[in-house]
Chain A
Amino acid sequence: MIGVSIAILKYRAVPAVAPEEVSIFTKIARRDLLQDDVNEALLMRPGQRLTNFLVRFDYGAIDGLVRSVARTVTGASREMRLTQTGYVRSYAFWIVLGALALLLSIFVVTL
């Protein structure tokens, strides 16, 4: 009863607008003891950054590796296609080169 009486006497005249100039403790109390701020700083923001990083990592690194393999195969195929010139002399040259490679490999194996 005494406590209630003191509180009534002290805080009877409550200002309509909360005062701006208050102690740091009042400011913290007004922000719900900074629970949201702590959660945001320690969990939410780092979590968002990690998520955004992983989305980029998945596309750039993991899927990017697969795409680069695909690009390499496509590029190599495009280059190899140029060897098909339609000239008999060109094909004859490749046949001779192949035969030489075959002979060389037989020679190396039977050494």
Chain B
Amino acid sequence: MTLTIIGALPLLGALLIGTVKKEQTTVVKQMALLTSILTAVAFAITAMRFEVDRPGFQFVESHSWLPTFGINYALGLDGISLILILMSVLLVPVVIIAGWHESEGGRWSAKTFYVLILILETMMIGVFAATDVFLFYVFFEAMLIPVYFLIGGYGVGERSQAAIKFLLYSLFGGLLMLASIIGIYVISGNQIGHTFDIDKLATLQIDSLTQNFLFLGFFIAFAIKAPLWPLHTWLPDAAKSATPGTSVLLLGVLDKVGTFGMIRYCIKLFPDASKTFTPMIITLSVISILYGAFLAIGQKDIKGLIAFTSISHFGFITLGIFAMTTQGNSGATLYMFNHGFSTAALFILAGYMMRRRNSSTIADFGGLQRVTPILAWTFFIAGLSSLALPGLSSFVSEFLVLVGTYTRYPVAAILGTFGIILAALYILIPVQKALHGPTTAGNEYLPDLTRREKIAIAPVIAIIIALGFYPKPALDVINPTSVTTITDAGFSDPAPTGGK
């Protein structure tokens, strides 16, 4: 029941907030923050009880939900889901503190905003913890609703259009996945009796043609979510229109459901199809890395810039996953975790900058280094993390992905390495424009970070630096699951080569 209780905490908080008058915005915010901190603490305690060397799911619970269809309410944790839930529950309180005033100016009240955030948190825990494919699908689709309202109700610019675009893209992917889920359910009925249990479904014998179709249903849904080129165009629009806090949850957590799904469902359920489509996916990943990087360089809007850097980073993650090596898989999973924090830092700090300047155009931020040194330095560190500077967290994961890929696909790894060079351009050029040089007119009296803003960003920067120097605790959790994923799918790491 541990996972159910933790997952229900934010929902309970949302219900309690529902009893408060909507005029009491401060009480609403405090309750939301308290709930998210309690959830984070509860999950951190649970995570400490996780036995890293024990194979399979832990904290397992299963209750019959719709027995006629073999659907269970089943939850469990492995190394990958643990690390991603940990990232999610740590980011929510950060988002609430950083975006203390984000709900102002929205279509609805602050109360609705925080209720939506907390409902989303429950969905995020559920989607990573589900071990029943149908339950996963329910969370996968249901989490679109709070995000749709958060973008459409509290965003800026063409927020309604962006929210609808996000929803339609996601629903289209979800529809394909549903078709595949029904397909695999029918096959399970013929072989082992109707079930949605992930471990049982992984034992099915499916002919290669059927497996290819079922794989594509899942993969396209996840490639939209991740997003992978050319299914990415919803992301920049959504990121530009959403509030910085919503963007953190969107890019930091929700998009990880796509890459998580590729590991948990595509590779585990359809290993042969994964092998068949690997060359195509590796190619798309490399295109995503380079394409996202070039478009990031061409952005004039700071939120658009972060969105396109993420498309490039998701290319790295997918590359690591489909390299089908334990190093690549571990690197990709660690990348998901690290990207969550580096993107969070960038969006939060970009949010601070935009709030001060009332603009998201990079050219409007000139000379912030002199006027707001703490804001400028923290943004600089976040940017360096995004370009994977050694000593910061993203470096370790990017290095592992590239090394893991090189052992099987050297050309893809070499092409992917160009993404690192382009990353230096897409981060350092905006840093130069926004932070250095003469102070742009209108920036002379901008205030530096407040105490609340420092409290929000400090833990994120601390995690980025700590995991850059000492990633072992995270890798200890991830590695056994990565080894199991690769070996269960019938792959083995290529033998080391080299001269005497």
Contact assessment for B298 and A51 in the assembled complex, using a CB-CB cutoff below 8 Å: yes
Q: Check A50 for interface membership: any CB of B closer than 8 A.
A: yes
Write out, one digit per residue, whether chain B residues 269-308 have a CB within 8 A of any chain A CB (1) or not (0): 0000000000000000000000100110111000000000
Q: Mark A66-81, 1 if CB is under 8 A from B, else 0.
A: 1000000000000000
The number of residue pairs between A and B whose CB atoms lie closer than 8 Å in the complex comes to 22
B291 engages A54 (CB within 8 Å)? yes
Q: Which of A18-58 contact B (CB under 8 A)?
A: 47, 50-52, 54-55, 58
- Are A52 and B298 closer than 8 Å at their CB atoms? yes
Tell me the minimal C-beta distance from A73 to chain B in angstroms.
10
**Are the C-beta atoms of A55 and B233 separated by less than 8 Å?**
no
Task: Give bound CA distance, A47 to B290, whole Å.
Answer: 12
Chain A residues in 8 Å Cβ range of B291: 54, 58
Instruction: Specify which chain B residues have a CB less than 8 angstroms from the CB of A58 in the assembled complex.
Output: 233, 291, 295
In the complex, A59 Cα to B329 Cα: how many Å?
A: 33
Q: Which residues of A contact B294 (CB under 8 A)?
A: 50-51, 54
A62 contacts the other chain (Cβ, under 8 Å)? Answer: yes
Q: Do A62 and B295 touch across chains, with their CB atoms under 8 A apart? A: no
Q: B295's contact among A47, A51, A66, by CB below 8 Å, is which?
A: A51
Bound-state CA distance A62–B165 (Å) is 14
Contact (Cβ within 8 A) A51 B297:
yes
A53, chain B: closest CB distance, angstroms: 9
Assess whether A54 is in contact with B230, with CB atoms less than 8 Å apart: no
**What's the nearest-Cβ distance from chain A to residue B230, in Å?**
5
User: In the complex, what residues of A have CB within 8 A of residue B298's CB?
Assistant: 51-52, 54-55
Q: Contacts of B299 on A, CB cut-off 8 Å?
A: 55
In the complex, which residues of chain A have a beta carbon less than 8 angstroms from the beta carbon of B165?
66
**A52 proximity list for chain B (CB < 8 A):** 298
Chain A residues numbered 60-107 whose CB sits less than 8 Å from any CB in chain B: 62-63, 66
Shortest CB-to-CB span from A56 to chain B, Å, is 9
Query: Count of chain A residues with Cβ under 8 Å from any Cβ of B?
Result: 10
Q: Which residues of B contact A50 (CB under 8 A)?
A: 294
Chain B residue numbers with a CB within 8 Å of A55 are 295, 298-299
Contacts of B297 in A (CB 8 A): 47, 51
For A51, list chain B residues within 8 Å (CB). 294-295, 297-298
Interface mask (B361-401 → A, CB under 8 Å = 1, otherwise 0): 00000000000000000000000000000000000000000
Taking the nearest CB of chain A, how far is it from the CB of B272, in angstroms? 31
Which partner residue on chain B sits nearest A73 by CB separation? B168
What distance in Å separates the Cβ of B425 from its nearest Cβ neighbour in chain A? 8
Contact flags (1/0) for B288-332 with A, using CB distance below 8 Å? 000100110111000000000000000000000000000000000
Using a CB-CB cutoff of 8 Å, which residues 73-121 of chain B contact chain A? none
**CA of A50 to CA of B165, assembled, Å:** 27
Would you give the shortest CB distance from A32 to chain B, in whole angstroms? Answer: 21
Contact pattern, B 227-269, Cβ under 8 Å of A = 1, otherwise 0? 0001001000000000000000000000000000000000000
Chain B: which residue is nearest A66 at the CB level? B233
Encode A2-31 as 1/0 by CB contact (under 8 A) with B.
000000000000000000000000000000
B-side contacts of A47, CB under 8 Å: 297
* Cross-chain contact A54 with B295 (CB below 8 angstroms): yes
Q: Is the CB of A63 within 8 A of B233?
A: yes
Q: Complex formed: what's the CA distance from A94 to B298 in Å?
A: 53
Closest beta carbon of chain B to A92's beta carbon, Å: 35
Docked pose: A58 CA to B368 CA in angstroms: 31
- Give the CA-CA distance A51 to B297 in the complex, in Å: 7
Residues of B contacting A66 with CB < 8 Å? 165, 233
CA of A67 to CA of B298, assembled, Å:
22
Bound CA span A18–B297, Å:
39
CA distance A47 to B233 in the complex (A): 22
Interfacial chain B residues near A63, Cβ < 8 Å: 233
- Complex: A58 Cα to B165 Cα, angstroms: 16
Min CB distance A52 to B, Å, is 6
In the complex, A63→B295 CA distance in Å?
13
- Give the distance in Å from the alpha carbon of A63 to the alpha carbon of B299 in the complex: 16
Chain B residues lying within 8 Å of A62, measured Cβ to Cβ, are 230, 233
Q: Report the Cα distance A66→B236, complex, angstroms.
A: 14
A47 to B295 alpha-carbon distance, docked (Å): 11
List A residues at the B interface (Cβ < 8 Å): 47, 50-52, 54-55, 58, 62-63, 66
In order of increasing CB-CB distance, the 10 nearest A-B pairs are A55-B298, A63-B233, A51-B298, A54-B294, A51-B297, A51-B294, A62-B230, A62-B233, A54-B295, A58-B295
Please list 10 pairs of residues, one from A and one from B, whose beta carbons are closer than 8 Å in the complex, sorted by A's number: A47-B297, A50-B294, A51-B297, A52-B298, A54-B294, A54-B295, A55-B295, A58-B291, A62-B230, A63-B233
**Known pairs A54-B298, A55-B298 / 7 extra A-B pairs, C-beta < 8 Å:** A47-B297, A51-B295, A51-B298, A52-B298, A62-B233, A63-B233, A66-B165
